Structure 1
Amino acid sequence: MKFIIIVVLILLLLCSMCRVVPQNNEGLIETLGKYSRTVKAGLVLIIPVIQRLRKVSLAMFPAEISKYSIITKDNAEITTSLTLNYLVTDSYKYFYNNTDSVKSMVELIRGHLRDIIGRMDLNDALGSTSSINSQLSDAIGDLTDIYGIRVVRVNIDELLPSTEIQKAMDKQLTADREKIAAIEKAEGEAKNIELTTKAKNDALIATAKAKAEAVKTEAEAEAYRIDQLQASLAKASDGYFKNQSLDSFNNLAKGPNNLIVVNKDDLTNLGSIPATAKIWHEATKDNE
């Protein structure tokens, strides 16, 4: 019976001496409350009562920095929120150098973000999220090493101006859009007037050109007719002209006016005209 009790006590002692550090963790062994050594993942033996094992995860942790206000260079208030990923690189610093290393890291990031945005105007800050992320990553750099932490990634999720500023920006945006719309409308109307005027002018020019072309064509046709007539007359004989003259005299004699003035060279041909012949005979009798 005593043997069994001793065996059980020995087993309980061995169990209390054995500790397991999980994968991707480190163990901090304290002896009588004082740090003595760091152990890796696996089975670890400690002295019961005298020693204590503290486990520290080395896995990556996500963290969110809730919304808080920052004042820009031009005294505008904006609200920002961040997300980040960090991991423990030194379990001793993480556990012993600070009572809350994660909180200290968050405050460090907040302070640097305030400094970065505080040197920017509102419009620059709202349009430079990527630049701010880059500056923030460079600023914190290895500073979190004093907490045994390394920030792997930090990202600004949002930058929002205050409600009053947002309303003012919305009004300004609306005014700008209305101004642009009014300008575009005026430009459209001016363009329409310009095109209409140009179309009318083009129509007037086209009409004038058509009329000028018609006059030109008519003048050319008349000139061609005259040229052909002159050419025909040039080829005609004297007898043709005399016959034409006699025909003209005949037509004139048929009218109400029977006084005809002719050249003396044509008097010998006037006998064929009735009115002229009558006048000629009466004049002859008077002379006799």
Structure 2
Amino acid sequence: MIIVRILLIVLVLVLLAAGIRIVPQNSEGLIETLGRYSRTVKAGPTLLIPFIQRLRKVSLALQPLEISKYSIITKDNAEITTSLTLNYLVTDSYKYFYNNTDSVESMVQLIRGHLRDIIGRMELNEALGSTSQINAQLSDAIGDLTDIYGIRVVRVNVDELLPSPEIQKAMDKQLTADREKTAAIARAEGEARNIELTTKAKNDALVATAKAKAEAIRTQADADAYRISKLEAALSQAGEGYFRNQSLDSFNNLAAGPNNLIILDKDEIGDLGKIPAAAQIWDKSSQQKPQA
């Protein structure tokens, strides 16, 4: 009898130990009785009927997930490859576990489908330059749709959008051509500017030279006018005897030369002396020329 009692006590303790389960923090437990859901328990210890009830633990913590790369066709029939990352958490452990055989995979397929729809309505260049816009549209699109899986997507992000290798090569060629075109335009503009500056400098030099020549001519003309006025003043003050003496000197100079035969009208003989007199006065006035 003692041995039987001991065995019974041991059996009860084993059954109690087998029926005690611990649900971790930030988790929920789904209790099934003979394979059928019976209730949901919170974190902490819970007691089950051994061999009849079963505990399934569901984490409620935020979960990161990376969606592998896959291809999408844009509006202009260009193929691009994209990859996503997201964070989700379980909001309803019953829906998460019982309403779908794989709620996470169903959520991923839903997100992929919406992303295909969003990018499929964009052209390649628009899609490549609108990552933040795509993220916002995708978040709005999935919204509460994942609630049927007992999941809420906290954040979704398109990590990269890569065109196919063929398109990438074409884009690289186009980029190179655009850069060469920009460089050629810059060089042409630089050369045109250089020609413009050179031409302006030459024109400025010609204008300056012309102004200098004009100033020199004006100064020379002023000097000549000054000498002529002095000459006229000197001749107007010279007496008749002065011109007569100059006439005699002129005849003497002509007689000393090889060509000493001169034919003049008698009225012009008296004016002959004015020529050397004018020359002497001109020379003197040249020495007294005012500084310009």
Q: TM-score, normalised by structure 1?
A: 0.83
Q: Deviations over 1:198-249 (max 9, x none)?
A: 2222211111111111112222233344455556777x4xxx4335424422
Query: What does 1:66-81 align with in structure 2 at a 5 Å threshold?
Result: 66-81=68-83
Query: What does 1:46-125 align with in structure 2 at a 5 Å threshold?
Result: 46-125=48-127
Query: What does 1:205-216 align with in structure 2 at a 5 Å threshold?
Result: 205-216=207-218
Counterpart of 1:251 (choices 232, 249, 254) is: 249
Change (3 A) 1:233 1:89: farther
Query: How much does 1:13 deviate?
Result: 2.1
2: distance between equivalents of 1:62 and 1:43?
Answer: 28
Letter in 2 for 1:142: D
Supply the RMSD in Å over aligned alpha carbons.
Answer: 2.5
2: distance between equivalents of 1:233 and 1:37?
Answer: 143
Change (3 A) 1:228 1:60: farther
Q: Does 1:152 align with 2:154?
A: yes
1: distance between equivalents of 2:145 and 2:25?
Answer: 27
2:8 aligned residue: 6
2:173 aligned residue: 171
Query: How much does 1:141 deviate?
Result: 0.6
Query: How much does 1:30 deviate?
Result: 1.2
Letter in 2 for 1:134: A
Q: Does 1:126 align with 2:122?
A: no
Query: How much does 1:193 deviate?
Result: 2.0
Q: Secondary structure at 1:48's aligned position in 2?
A: coil
Query: How much does 1:85 deviate?
Result: 0.9
Change (3 A) 1:232 1:34: farther
Letter in 2 for 1:202: D
Query: What does 1:250-269 align with in structure 2 at a 5 Å threshold?
Result: 250-254=248-252, 255-256=254-255
2:274 aligned residue: none
Q: Secondary structure at 1:86's aligned position in 2?
A: strand
Letter in 2 for 1:120: M
1: distance between equivalents of 2:138 and 2:233?
Answer: 103
Q: Secondary structure at 2:239's aligned position in 1?
A: helix
Letter in 2 for 1:210: A
Query: How much does 1:116 deviate?
Result: 0.5
Q: Deviations over 1:38-91 (max 9, x none)?
A: 111111122222211111011111111111111111111111111111111111
Query: How much does 1:100 deviate?
Result: 0.2
1:15 aligned residue: 17
Query: What does 1:24-35 align with in structure 2 at a 5 Å threshold?
Result: 24-35=26-37
Q: TM-score, normalised by structure 2?
A: 0.82
Counterpart of 1:241 (choices 222, 239, 259) is: 239
1:274 aligned residue: none
How many residues are aligned here?
264
1:282 aligned residue: none
% identical aligned pairs:
73
Task: Report which stretch shifted further, 44-53 or 217-226.
Answer: 217-226
Task: Report which stretch shifted further, 216-225 or 171-180.
Answer: 216-225
Letter in 1 for 2:124: L
1:204 aligned residue: 206
Change (3 A) 1:251 1:15: farther
1:271 aligned residue: none
Task: Report which stretch shifted further, 65-74 or 161-170.
Answer: 161-170
1: distance between equivalents of 2:176 and 2:215?
Answer: 57
Letter in 1 for 2:125: N
Q: Deviations over 1:167-186 (max 9, x none)?
A: 22222222222222222222
Letter in 1 for 2:79: E
Letter in 2 for 1:72: T
Letter in 1 for 2:250: L
